[in-house]
Amino acid sequence: MIGCTCDVCRSSDPHDRRLRPSIYLDVDNGPAILVDTSTDLRQQALAHDLRRLDAIVMTHNHADHVMGLDEVRRFNVLMGGEIPLWASAATGRELRRIFQYVFEPPQHVGGGIPQISLREIDGEFTVGALAVRPVPLLHGRLPILGFRFGTFAYLTDASSIPAASWPLLDGVDVLIINALRHRPHPTHFSLAEAVAVAERIGARQTWFTHICHDLPHAATNRALPAGMALAHDGLTFTVEVG
């Protein structure tokens, strides 16, 4: 946090340095997919040497999840064309408003504009041969989407899971779910709430993301149940996506 002198913000443990939440799914012999274009996308793409991008899927339109959209320009060059971006109808409307210069470009422009084809999520969809299942979540009162790829689910910015979404999470083996801090928050799961949801989902491995500076990495992990841990920037693992 800017200007903060707390133990986590001043920690020498690199696991305590957290950029905005996003994941990159690189499917063997399949597409490379980015979930959200975080404010820090440029730094993250450079740090992890991302060279390919076949599609973007958006959880919701909050600034920390979308403000890196302009960086897609570089992937247009690398991939030789526009990049499809999948979003709910509501998120798509907000993206058109926030990024008017992208979706309604002016006639005479200097400099590049990301080339994006906006696709509306209306149930399960495919990117190449990969099936992507949207999982409706609530972020306070805002409906947002988590995503399931095979036995892996990525659920961020949730504060509750609607009854109809629980069956969509049956059989999840690896889970990423948001856990902000210990104290309750109106629009994000606390750590205790996220642990309870993770126990109900029953994944073999659960990672917590979207963590604020209230949670020191090492000390928090020591207190978590087996098979659950805080995620960290640069974390990589393998999942079965079918």
Judged by beta carbon, residue 4 or residue 89, the one nearer Zn ion is 4
Spell out the residues 6+ positions from residue 100 whose beta carbon is closer than 8 angstroms to its own: none
Residues in the chain: 242
Tokens of 210: 């979207």
Which residues make up the interface to Zn ion (CB under 5 A)? Answer: 1, 4, 6, 9, 62, 64, 157, 213
C-alpha 231/C-alpha 22 separation (Å) is 11
| CB of 44 closer than 8 Å to CB of 37 | no
Tell how strand 130-139 and strand 142-149 pair up: antiparallel
Nearer to Zn ion, 1 or 192 (CB): 1
Among 120, 53, 130, which Cα is nearest to 93's? Answer: 120
Distance of closest approach, residue 213 Cβ to Zn ion, in angstroms? 4
75/189 with CB nearer Zn ion: 189
Q: In angstroms, what is the minimal distance from the CB of 157 to Zn ion?
A: 4
Least Å distance, CB 30 to Zn ion, is: 27
Q: Rounded to the nearest whole angstrom, what is the least distance from the CB of residue 178 to Zn ion in the complex?
A: 8
- In terms of CB distance, is 1 or 46 closer to Zn ion? 1
